Structure 1
Amino acid sequence: MTFAEVVFNLPLNHSFTYKIPPQFIGVVAGCRVYVPFGKRVMTGVVVDLKDKSSFKSVKDIIDVLDEKPLLKPDILQLTKWISSYYMSSWGQAIQLALPKGLDEFEKENIFLVEENADIDLSEQQQRLYYLIADNPGKSKTFYRKKFGTGSFYTIVNSLHEKGLIFFETEKQKARVGVLMRHYVVIPQNYDEIKLTNEKFCKYLEKRPEVDKLISENSGTSILLSDFQKQTRMAHATIQKMHHNGIVSIEQLATERKPEINYNEKKENFTLNNEQTSVINEIVRQSELDQFKSFLLHGITGSGKTVVYIEILKKVVEQGKSAIILIPEIALTPQTVSRFKAVFGDKIAVFHSKMSIGQRYDAWMACYSGQVKIAIGPRSALFAPMDNIGLIVVDEEHEQSYKQTETAPLYNARDVSLYWGRQHNAVVVLGSATPSFETYYNAHQKKHTLLKIENRATSGFLPEVVLADMRKEKSSSKNRAVFSKILLEKIEDRLNKKEQIILLQNRRGFSSFQQCLHCGFIPKCSECEVTLTYHTYDNKLRCHYCGLNIPAAKNCANCGSDELDNKGIGTQQIQEELANRFKNAVVLRMDQDTTRAKNAYDQILGTFREGKADILLGTQMISKGLDFPNVTLVGVISADVGLSIPDFRSSEKIFQLLSQVAGRAGRGDKPGEVVIQSYQVQHYAIQFAKNHDYSGFFNEEIKHRETYKYPPFNRMIIITVSASNISDAISKAREISTPIRIHGKYLCDLTGPAPAAISKIKNLYRWQISLKINKKYDPAGVKTRQLLSDVLSPFTKQKSNSLFINIDVDPVFGG
C-alpha cells in the first residue's frame, strides 16, 4: 500500500491522506504516525491503507511511532461506531481507546522582540503584551488560558504584525512511556557464587543479615534503592558485587501501580437461592459464546458484587477476559479490594486519580495480555482486552457513565452493549434502581430481567421515616438543619456505638450569600451562577469554572454588613454536628476533601475501622459502600435537585434516596433512615420511603409517554456557545431553521432557547432540543444524518469564540 488515511483528535469528520515513504512501508491501521498538518506537525492514527489517491499533492509521513499497532481492528470498529452514533469525529473517538500522554506534536512559544515598546496599543493588546512580558516563552495555549477566550488569536496576530512578538517552534515529546529503574538482580545460584569470592565471604561474616537477605531473594530482583535501605550497604560496595559477578545491576521496566490503602478480608460467602439461580443462568449463557444482555435488578444489600465475582471466576476459567465498570471513583477502593481479595494481582485498575504513568502501565498490562480483568469507571471499557467474555456495568443507572465534557459524549452503559455484541460476550447491567431506558427495554425483551428481592444477610430493608421540615421551620426561629427526630436518632446511635451516614448533595458551607439590606447576591463573572461560600479558606467559589474571590464582610452593592448565608452545604453541616455532638468523630467526604491522592481510601478506611462515628458527604457516599455497623442514614435535604428543569429530576431523586437508604442495616443490626424534606408528599419521595421501584416506574412512565421523553423517544440536544450572546442566538437560529424545515417528520424541535445555565466560562449558551419520531426514524439514523449535513458548514469554520456541542441521548434535558 502506498497511501495511509489518518485521523486526528480534532472535530473534523473526515480522514487525511498521506504518502507512505519506503522506510515505513510496513505501517498498518492502528499505528500512530507523526505527520505535517497545516503549519503544525501532529500525531495522528492510521485508520486505512490505499493503493491510490485522488489528490495530486500528498505530504509524506514523517515518522511511525509504534512498532506494532496500539489499536486493534475491533477497537477501531468500536470507535468508528461511537463517532457515528454520538456525532463526533473518528479521531476524537479514538482518543478514548489510547492512554493519555502519548501524543507528540509541535507547539509554538511566544517571545517579546523587545520590552516596553513605544507603540500605541489597545487595552486588550496591552493586556496580552504585558502577560507575555511577565511569562516569556510560554505556549499559545498557556496565554490563551490566562487571557481568556474572546478574540485571543486575533490579538496575537496583531502583535505579531506590529513586530512586537515572535514565535519559536518546539517539539513536544510524549509525556509518558515505560518507566525504567535500576534493580539488583540476584542469581538463582547465589549461594554457590559467593563461595568463589573470598573477600566477599569475609565481608558476610561481619554482615550475616546481608547474606540472609540476598540468599532468601535468590532468583529475584530488588529495586536498587530498596536494596540499599534494607542492607544499609554503600553504593560502592554494591557496585563491587556487580563487577565481581555476585549480583548484577540492571535497568528494568517498572510497573506503576496505584496504591489502594483499603483492604477487604477474603470471606467465604454462602450464596442464597436467588443468587445461585442468577449465577447459573448467566454462566450458562457465557459458555455458549453468544451475545446476551441481562438486567440484574437486585435490591440494595442483595449481594450483587458477590454475584459478579462468582460469574467472573467461571468466565476466567473459560480462558476469557472481563471488564467491570463502576460508576464513580469513590467506589474504587472498596470494590477493587473485594475483587483483589479473590483474584490477586490479575486485575488492572483504571480511575481518574491515577497518574498518566499508572494509567499507561495498566493499559499496557491489558494490551500485552498480562491481566484478564479490567476494573474502573467508564474509561475502563476501552481497556485493550482480547477475547472478552463478560462486561459488568454496576449501578448502570448512574449518570457518571455519560461523558459530558468533551466529544464524543458517549454513554459507557450503551457502548458496553455494542462492545459485548462484537465479542459475543455476556453483558450484565446491575442496579437496585435501574434507569428507565434499561428497565423499559427489559420489559420489551431486549434484556433478560433477573431479580434478587432479598438481602444477602437475610436482613430486611431499613424502615424509612419522613421528616416534614415545614413543621420544623414553624417551631424554630431559624431554618432548621436537623429535624428533632433525626437528632434523637443520631444521639441514640452514638450512645450504642453504632455508625451513621448523612447525605447532603451540596458541598461548600452555603449555596450563596445574600445581602439582607438590598438583596444583592454575588455571582460568577464568567458563569450565570451564584458563588458558593466555603469556610475553610473564607472564599466564594464557582463550581463550574473554578473562579474564587475572598468573601467580603460588606455587600459589594450597598456596603451593608448584613450578609446571610443561604442554603446548607456539607461544611455547614459538619460545623453544626461538631457543635451538637462534641465527642463524635465526623468525617466529611466531598469534592473538597478528596482532592489529595488516596484521600478516598483513607476516609473510607478510617470509617470502616470504626475510628469515626459519622460519615457526612455528597452523593459519592450514596452508592456501593457496605459498612455493617451503619444502622442510621439521614438525608438532610431530599429536595436538592427536585425542582431543576430536567425531565429526569424525579428519577434521579428516587434513585439517590433509594441508594443511600440502602447503606443502613447491611449487617446483623436493623437499619433506619430519616429523610428530611419540604415536599414530603412528592411521589418520588413517597415511593422511595416504601422501597417501591415498580410503583415509582409505573407512575413516572406515564409522564414520560405524555411528553414524548425517553424511553419513548430518543433525544438530541445541540448547544451553541459563544463569547458574544448575539452570536450564540444567531448561530442557533441558523442551525435550527433547516432542521425544522427538512426534519419536520423526523423530529420535534424545541428552541433555540437559553440553556438551564445560560453562561459558563464566559460563553453564552443556547440550546436546540430534538425529540426523534419513532415512527419515521426509529433508530435516529436519518435525524443524525440531517444534523451532520446541517452542521457541516459550521464545523469547517475556524472559530475560537464559537462552539457547537452535540449530545445524543443526554442524561440532562429540559
Structure 2
Amino acid sequence: MSERFADIILPLPLANSYTYKIPEELSESVKLGMRVVVPFGSKKIYTGIVRYVHAVPPKVSSVKEIIALLDNAPILRRPQLPFWEWIANYYMAFIGDVYTAAVPAGLKLESETTITLNSDFEADAPFSEKELRIYNALSDNKPHSIKELTRITGFKTILPTVKNLMDQGAVSLSEELRAAYKPKRLTCVRLADDVTNDEQLQTIFDLLHRSKKQLNLLMVYLELSRHLTKTGSREVSKKELLEQSGSSAAVFDALVEKKILHTYSKEISRLDSTQTALQPLAVLNSFQKTAYRSLLSQLKEKNVVLLHGVTSSGKTEIYIHLIAETLKLGRQVLYLVPEIALTTQLTQRLERVFGNKLGVYHSKFSDNERVEIWNNLLNDKGYEIILGVRSSVFLPFRDLGLVIVDEEHESSYKQYDPAPRYHARNAAIVLANMHGAKTVLGSATPAIESYHNALAGKYGLVELTQRHEEIELPKVQTVDLKEAYRKKRITGHFTDELVEKITLALSNKEQVILFQNRRGYAPYIECKQCAYVPRCPHCDVSLTYHKHFDMITCHYCGYTSKVPANCPSCHTPSLQTKGFGTEQIEEEIHALFPDAKAARLDLDTVRTKKGFEKIIRDFESHSIDILIGTQMVTKGLDFGDVSLVGILNAGNLLFYPDFRAHERAFQLMAQVSGRAGRKSKQGLVVLQTPETDHPVIRQVIAHDYKGMFATQMRERHDFRYPPYFRLINIIIRHKDAGVNNHAAALIADELKKLLGTRVLGPNNPPVGRIQNWYIKHILLKIENAASPDAVKEIIRNVVSGIQSDGRFKSLQVNYDVDPM
C-alpha cells in the first residue's frame, strides 16, 4: 500500500496545517475532522485535527508520524472545517487560533501529555540504553509528562524513543489524558441479587431488629425505590438515600458489608435534563401577527431579515413561532444572545415550549459540561435548539435551518482578545449560508451597518413599532447635573429629582433599575496634596478602587494591591476616591433607602453561572427592589414591575474617543430605558446628564432611532467610516517601547507606499501598555469597491518582511478586521 499522509491543524497560532505520515495500521481509519495525537517540535505533543488526507509526501527530509488516533468518528461535521477556514481568512487569524477557540479544552491534549507503563508488557528484545532509562523512569507506575521525563532522564529529545516504546507496546498515552473530558458518575444502590421476594425481606428485617439505624435506612431505601409497589423499582443514589434517611455513611457501609445492599456506578449527564410541563405557543397579538407573516414572506426572498422592533414589542414570541416552524421541518436552530445573563430568562421561556429539545451553551459552564453539549449535538442526542453566546457558532450542528441573532447591535458579539477577533453576528450569517439556513437579526436599536443593509435591500426589513399590550414607550426626563451641583440639589450621585422618583416607585411597591457603566467603587484614588494616582505597574491605567475588598485592581491584567494608608509619593494620609462605580452607588442607595433591598449586577457579583441566575431570580421574585448594574442590565432582560430607570451620568457615554461613541450611547440609553414600563403602565426614565441639549440626548428622549441613524450616516460618509468603508486595525506589540515604535513606523511607511492615504498612524491606543507590552495601532480605511483579499495580502507581505528583520524577532502583530 502506498504511503498516506494527513495535514493536521494544531491548537497553536500557526497559519498552516502540518503534514504527518499516517502509520500503516491507521491508514484506513484516519478521516477528516478526527483528533490525532502528534509530536510537534522536539518535546511537545498536541491533539491535532485532520484537515486533509492524501498521498503527496511533503518536501522535507523526514516526516513525523501520527502517534495515536483518538476517535472512532470525526468530532467535526460538515461544514465546520470550511467555516473555520472562512473565519481564519476573513479575520486574518491563524487556523490554529480558530481551532483553539472553537473546540472545548476537554477535547484537546496539549504539551502536558502524559505517558504510562503498560503493566502486561513483555519485551521481545532488549531495550536500547535510552529506552531503558525512560522505561525505568516510568517504573513507579505513575503517569509522567513529556516535560517530566525529559528532566528525569536528562535527554534533550525523547519523543522518538517514546514513540519506539509505544510501538513495542511498552508504554501508552495516559487514559486520563486521552479523556480530558471525564463522564460524570453517580453511585447508586440496589438490593442484593438474592433478595427477590417478601419472605427474604422479612428474614433481613428479623436480622436487623437490634440495629435500628440500619433497619431505618433499609426501610427508607425500599420506600424510595418503590420496591414493593406494582409500578416497579426506580434507581436510588447513595447521596439521596443518606439525605432522606438522615443516616451516616458508616450505617450505609454496614449494610453493604452484610451484603444486603450493593452499590454500582452509572454515567449521568452534568446538564439539567428535568422535563418541564410543556405549554402551547402563545397567541400573537395583531401587530406581532403582521410582523410574523411579513418575516415568513421576506425569508422566502432573502437569506437575512432584520426585525427592528421597539423594546417590549414581543420579538421573543415571534422568534418562538419561527423556531416551531423550523423544528417541524426537522432542522435545528441557533439562538444567539450577547450576554450570559440573558440566557437565564430566555431558557425558562423556551423550555416551557420546547422542553428538552433546548440546549444552553456559554462560558460559565464547566469545560466538562461544554464537552457534553458538543457530544450530544455530535451524536444527535436530543438538542434541536441551542441558546448560547458567540462561541455557539462553532458547535457541530447537523442541519441548521434558522439562526436568530437577538440584540444584534451588541458589541459583546465581537471577540476582542485573543484571536480570532470574529464578530458572531457576521460569522453566524456565513454559517447559516453554509447550511442553507435563514438568519433573523433582531434589535430595538440595530447596528448602523445592519440597518443600512436592510434599507439597501441586502437584508429584508420588518418593523414592529408597537409595544406588547400597547404599553407606551417610557417617558424620558432629563436632569441637568451641572445645575444640580450648582444649586446643591444632589446627595452623593443622586439628584433630588431622582431620589423623589425612587421614593415614589418604592412606595408603590414597584422596582427600580439604576445604570452606571463602570464597576468597582471608584475609577481611581488620588492624593489631594500632590495629585498622585496609583497606577498599574504592568499597564498604562489607573487602578480601580473596590471598597468591599479594600483593594485597588487593574481591570486589564488583574493586578491587585492593598490600598496604601499614606500617599506613596508625599507620605501624607490624603488619598481620596475620584469618580464612582456600581459599588459606590450601592453604598449610597443603602444610605438613602435603608429599608429597600438593593443588589448589583456586574462582573464582580456574577462570576459564576449560579451568580447570574440568583440575582435575576431574586429580582423577578421581588427579593430585590433596586438593581444597580453596568451594561448587563441593558441587554433584553424582561421584568414586569420595573417602573423607573435611572441613568446616573449619561455624559460619560458620549465622549469616548471612538467613531461609534454616539451610536453606542444611543443604543445603551435606549436599551436600558426599555426596561421601564412593562405590563400595565408607562415607565419613567430619569436621565442625569451635564449635556441636556446634546443631539443624542434629544434623540433618546424622542425615541428617534431613525434620526440618530441619519445623523451618523452623514458623519460616517464624510469621515470615511463603515458602512461606506471597511476598517482593518493592525495592533503592534513589543516589550521594548523603542523597538515597538520603530517597527510600527516602518510598517506604516511601507503600507503608505502601497496603499496611500488609506493608512492612518501609527497611533497610540487609549491604553498604550498592557501586561508590559507596549502597543501601537495602524488603522486602514478601505473603500468597499477594493478587494479585501488583495489588501490583506499586501498587509501580510509587509508585516512578514518587517518581522524577518532580526531586530523585530519578538514583535507581535495582530489584526482586527471590522474593529468595534
Q: Please say if residues 541 and 547 of structure 1, whose CA atoms lie closer than 8 Å, have aligned partners that are also in contact.
A: yes
Residue 499 of structure 2: aligned partner: 487
> Aligned to 1:307, which of 312, 318, 323?
318
Question: Separation in 2 of the partners of 1:642 and 1:462?
Answer: 21
> Aligned to 1:757, which of 741, 762, 767?
767
Alpha-carbon distance, 1:291 to partner: 6.6
Alpha-carbon distance, 1:259 to partner: 10
Does 1:32 find its partner at 2:44?
no
What do residues 587-630 of structure 1 show as CA deviations (whole Å, max 9, x unaligned)? Answer: 11111111244111111111111122111111101121111111
Range with bigger deviation, 270-279 or 652-661: 270-279
Aligned residue type for 1:44:
G
Residue 778 of structure 2: aligned partner: 768
Range with bigger deviation, 429-438 or 348-357: 348-357
Residue 326 of structure 1: aligned partner: 337
> Aligned to 1:346, which of 349, 353, 357?
357
What's the secondary structure of 2:785's corresponding residue? Answer: coil
What do residues 410-457 of structure 1 show as CA deviations (whole Å, max 9, x unaligned)? Answer: 000000110111111110100000001101111111110011111112
Question: Separation in 1 of the partners of 2:277 and 2:548?
Answer: 33
Question: Separation in 2 of the partners of 1:722 and 1:759?
Answer: 10
What do residues 538-590 of structure 1 show as CA deviations (whole Å, max 9, x unaligned)? Answer: 11111111111211232221123233311111111111111111111111111
Aligned residue type for 2:22:
I
Residues 587, 259 of structure 1: alpha-carbon distance in 2 compared, 3 angstrom cutoff: farther
Question: Separation in 1 of the partners of 2:697 and 2:531?
Answer: 32
Does 1:52 find its partner at 2:60?
no
Alpha-carbon distance, 1:240 to partner: 7.3
What's the secondary structure of 2:768's corresponding residue? Answer: strand
Q: Please say if residues 721 and 781 of structure 2, whose CA atoms lie closer than 8 Å, have aligned partners that are also in contact.
A: yes
Question: Separation in 1 of the partners of 2:801 and 2:298?
Answer: 48
Residues 38, 632 of structure 1: alpha-carbon distance in 2 compared, 3 angstrom cutoff: same
Aligned residue type for 2:799:
L
Does 1:2 find its partner at 2:4?
yes
Residue 803 of structure 1: aligned partner: 812
Alpha-carbon distance, 1:176 to partner: 3.3
Provide the TM-score with structure 1 as the length reference: 0.86
What do residues 256-288 of structure 1 show as CA deviations (whole Å, max 9, x unaligned)? Answer: 12699xx999687431122112323444677x6
Does 1:789 find its partner at 2:787?
no
Q: Please say if residues 642 and 653 of structure 1, whose CA atoms lie closer than 8 Å, have aligned partners that are also in contact.
A: yes
Question: Separation in 2 of the partners of 1:630 and 1:706?
Answer: 41
Question: Separation in 2 of the partners of 1:272 and 1:106?
Answer: 58
Residue 608 of structure 1: aligned partner: 620
What's the secondary structure of 2:652's corresponding residue? Answer: coil
> Aligned to 1:567, which of 556, 579, 585?
579
Residue 680 of structure 1: aligned partner: 692
Residue 120 of structure 1: aligned partner: none
Alpha-carbon distance, 1:743 to partner: 2.4
> Aligned to 1:436, which of 436, 448, 454?
448
What do residues 86-122 of structure 1 show as CA deviations (whole Å, max 9, x unaligned)? Answer: 111112212333122322233499xxxxxxxxxxxxx
Residues 222, 214 of structure 1: alpha-carbon distance in 2 compared, 3 angstrom cutoff: closer
Residue 392 of structure 2: aligned partner: 380
Alpha-carbon distance, 1:525 to partner: 1.2
What's the secondary structure of 1:357's corresponding residue? Answer: helix
Aligned residue type for 2:200:
K
Does 1:504 find its partner at 2:512?
no
Question: Separation in 2 of the partners of 1:511 and 1:184?
Answer: 53
Q: Please say if residues 337 and 343 of structure 2, whose CA atoms lie closer than 8 Å, have aligned partners that are also in contact.
A: yes
> Aligned to 2:21, which of 3, 19, 22?
19
Provide the TM-score with structure 2 as the length reference: 0.85
- How many residues were matched structurally? 752
Residue 252 of structure 1: aligned partner: 266
Residues 264, 598 of structure 1: alpha-carbon distance in 2 compared, 3 angstrom cutoff: farther
Q: Please say if residues 76 and 94 of structure 1, whose CA atoms lie closer than 8 Å, have aligned partners that are also in contact.
A: no
Does 1:273 find its partner at 2:286?
yes
Aligned residue type for 2:630:
T
Residue 357 of structure 1: aligned partner: 368
The correspondence of residues 626-641 of structure 1 with structure 2, limited to 5 A, is 626-641=638-653
Aligned residue type for 1:605:
R
Question: Separation in 2 of the partners of 1:60 and 1:291?
Answer: 48
Range with bigger deviation, 549-558 or 712-721: 549-558
Residue 63 of structure 1: aligned partner: 68
Range with bigger deviation, 390-399 or 364-373: 364-373
Residues 282, 424 of structure 1: alpha-carbon distance in 2 compared, 3 angstrom cutoff: farther
What's the secondary structure of 1:29's corresponding residue? Answer: coil
The correspondence of residues 186-201 of structure 1 with structure 2, limited to 5 A, is 195-196=196-197, 198-201=199-202
What's the secondary structure of 2:653's corresponding residue? Answer: coil
Residue 730 of structure 1: aligned partner: 742
Aligned residue type for 2:471:
G
Q: Please say if residues 19 and 58 of structure 2, whose CA atoms lie closer than 8 Å, have aligned partners that are also in contact.
A: no
What's the secondary structure of 1:362's corresponding residue? Answer: helix
Alpha-carbon distance, 1:383 to partner: 1.8
Q: Please say if residues 35 and 47 of structure 2, whose CA atoms lie closer than 8 Å, have aligned partners that are also in contact.
A: yes
Question: Separation in 1 of the partners of 2:186 and 2:490?
Answer: 64
Question: Separation in 1 of the partners of 2:654 and 2:272?
Answer: 37
Q: Please say if residues 313 and 464 of structure 2, whose CA atoms lie closer than 8 Å, have aligned partners that are also in contact.
A: yes
Alpha-carbon distance, 1:6 to partner: 0.9
Does 1:369 find its partner at 2:380?
yes
What's the secondary structure of 1:610's corresponding residue? Answer: coil
Question: Separation in 1 of the partners of 2:804 and 2:404?
Answer: 39
Q: Please say if residues 281 and 321 of structure 2, whose CA atoms lie closer than 8 Å, have aligned partners that are also in contact.
A: no
Question: Separation in 2 of the partners of 1:596 and 1:296?
Answer: 32
Residue 578 of structure 1: aligned partner: 590
What's the secondary structure of 2:457's corresponding residue? Answer: coil
Residue 445 of structure 1: aligned partner: 457
What's the secondary structure of 1:9's corresponding residue? Answer: coil
Question: Separation in 1 of the partners of 2:508 and 2:666?
Answer: 30
Alpha-carbon distance, 1:209 to partner: 5.1
Aligned residue type for 1:33:
V
Range with bigger deviation, 380-389 or 699-708: 380-389
Q: Please say if residues 180 and 251 of structure 1, whose CA atoms lie closer than 8 Å, have aligned partners that are also in contact.
A: no
Aligned residue type for 2:51:
V
Alpha-carbon distance, 1:695 to partner: 0.8
Range with bigger deviation, 419-428 or 475-484: 475-484
Q: Please say if residues 264 and 337 of structure 1, whose CA atoms lie closer than 8 Å, have aligned partners that are also in contact.
A: no
Alpha-carbon distance, 1:336 to partner: 1.2
Does 1:90 find its partner at 2:104?
no
What's the secondary structure of 2:688's corresponding residue? Answer: strand
Aligned residue type for 1:447:
Y
Alpha-carbon distance, 1:208 to partner: 5.6
Q: Please say if residues 749 and 770 of structure 1, whose CA atoms lie closer than 8 Å, have aligned partners that are also in contact.
A: yes
Residues 108, 219 of structure 1: alpha-carbon distance in 2 compared, 3 angstrom cutoff: closer
Residue 42 of structure 1: aligned partner: 46
Aligned residue type for 2:199:
E
The correspondence of residues 562-711 of structure 1 with structure 2, limited to 5 A, is 562-711=574-723
Aligned residue type for 2:659:
F
What's the secondary structure of 1:757's corresponding residue? Answer: coil
What do residues 207-246 of structure 1 show as CA deviations (whole Å, max 9, x unaligned)? Answer: 6654343236747544443345446682464687799xxx
What's the secondary structure of 2:614's corresponding residue? Answer: helix
% identical aligned pairs: 34
Aligned residue type for 1:783:
V
Does 1:537 find its partner at 2:539?
no
Alpha-carbon distance, 1:672 to partner: 0.4
Residue 81 of structure 1: aligned partner: 86
Residues 276, 22 of structure 1: alpha-carbon distance in 2 compared, 3 angstrom cutoff: same
